[in-house]
Structure 1
């Protein structure tokens, strides 16, 4: 194996080392000297090691561009910083070109995604959700239809900030039967009285659609509701939640009050839908306390009851009932015909006493023994609802109390 020559200046090919100054230069073909005449290794190298050069710094704008691109924060600024960083890197010889390019690419993608979100409404929805969550202390909350809960304050009156959802089978403070948004909710807060009026007007009809069998509704149950507050309204809260609760603040409800098409069979549903026709007519009863205060209004209302009874009896007769209930329901339809005749007489009454007598006779037919027998055959409640001293319906009309929460 050939041994390489030492480092340093080398003589021409085939020649020896350079002679000391003042001596003739050797000619071509002279052998490389060996032995004592040879120069030592260290002196033959002749060149020092090159000086160490420092590593160029990383451009600061390139770092900033990459950070903004990764975070997708201020994408326009991220693009600008990346472009400026590339120019500085070329001019100054700094490092960070890859960071600057990555920052430009990520910021461009972020800008496109942000534009898409704003044009499709996604950003607005996200902002509204964030704003709603941030303002949770001032807003109401959602409880779904059919859910039961306990109030953390132990009351359904006053302000409520949160509730505990519990099974409806056990004891609970309330059962939600409906929720809806305030109509025309795009303007300023309409005031507590206006919100309460809307809740009163709409929660009671919803309660009759949820608990269709008014006979099964306990006498100590009333309608309550959650409504927006002035503070929550500013953050977009427009929801009214309707619920059943006990009129006694210290008492509870037990078991679900729900009786609609989700819990009833076909015969029960048909019977209660026909029954709702008459209930709807009674909801239109004049608001005066006594018949003599508005006899003309009551006589006009009696004509509506006559029409409702005719439609109720017709609905019962067209349904195909199970054999075990058909005879009892038919008998009840005949009782409704007799009640219709009493209301026709009330419509023609000469005075308040005559009107009230026919009303009482009709009530004994619509809520009497034939009604109870038909209900028992269908598996429905058989305890008639209570009425006040004047004979008017007690609990479920629109004049019933409602408490704002």
Structure 2
């Protein structure tokens, strides 16, 4: 499975690539059952996994997952599936990702996306090609925003970071 990831941007424009299951390690705070480390394929990410992909742009087949106790770029905070049917198009997938991830962001971080300048989110999503192979998943990722306005590396979980 693959997904597109043109850039790591803010809520309005972030569209992210994909992820493959590898060796199990210890989990992130609050998510011990999701402990996985190594290269992960699109659609295999689970809530609580931390991704260290250096916000790579373009289409990604896999991304590195690391323990949340290590420096990382983002953390999976929600996973949901789009309904079956014809591929809805990139614009509709993006709309559904923003809507779904935005609601889950508040629950996970304790702050609404529009109310914070220190946290933002992006997502992995199905492409037209991966949709044909059954990919319907959207994986929402939260990341810290640095003083320059861009993504910055984090150690630990961002769960409840806005509380």
TM-score normalised per structure 1 = 0.27
- Cα-Cα RMSD: 2.5
Q: Which residue of 1 is the match for residue 122 of structure 2? A: 224
- 1:206 paired to 2:104: yes
Q: Does 1:254 find its partner at 2:155?
A: yes
Q: Which protein shows a greater Rg?
A: 1
The structure 1 residue matched to 2:75, chosen from 146, 167, 175, is 175
- Seen in structure 2, the aligned counterparts of structure 1 residues 208 and 156 have a Cα distance that, compared at 3 Å, is farther
**What whole-Å deviation, never above 9, does each CA across 1:105-130 have from its counterpart, x for those lacking one?**
xxxxxxxxxxxxxxxxxxxxxxxxxx
The residue number in structure 2 matching 1:83 is none
| Corresponding residue of 2:60 | 160
Residues 213, 221 of structure 1: CA spacing in aligned structure 2 closer, same or farther, 3 A cutoff? closer
Q: 5 Å matches for 1:5-404? A: 140-151=42-53, 154-155=54-55, 157-182=57-82, 184-185=83-84, 187-212=85-110, 219-247=117-145, 248-249=150-151, 251-259=152-160
Q: How many residues align?
A: 117
More helix by share: 1
Distance 1:210 1:157 in 2: 25
Cα distance in 1 for partners of 2:116, 2:130 equals 33
- Asked if the contact 2:43–2:138 (Cα under 8 Å) also holds between the matched residues in 1, the reply is no
- Residue 12 of structure 2 corresponds to none
Alpha-carbon deviations, 1:296-350, whole Å to 9, x = none? xxxxxxxxxxxxxxxxxxxxxxxxxxxxxxxxxxxxxxxxxxxxxxxxxxxxxxx
Hey, which of these two has a bigger chunk of strand by percent?
A: 2
Question: Structure 1 regions of 5+ residues with no counterpart?
Answer: 1-138, 261-379, 382-405
Native 8 Å contact 2:52 2:63 kept in 1: yes
TM-score (norm 2): 0.63
Could you say if the C-alpha distance between residues 240 and 174 of structure 1 is closer, same or farther in structure 2, counting changes exceeding 3 Å?
same
Q: Distance in 2 between matches of 1:204 and 1:170?
A: 26
SS in 1 for 2:122: strand
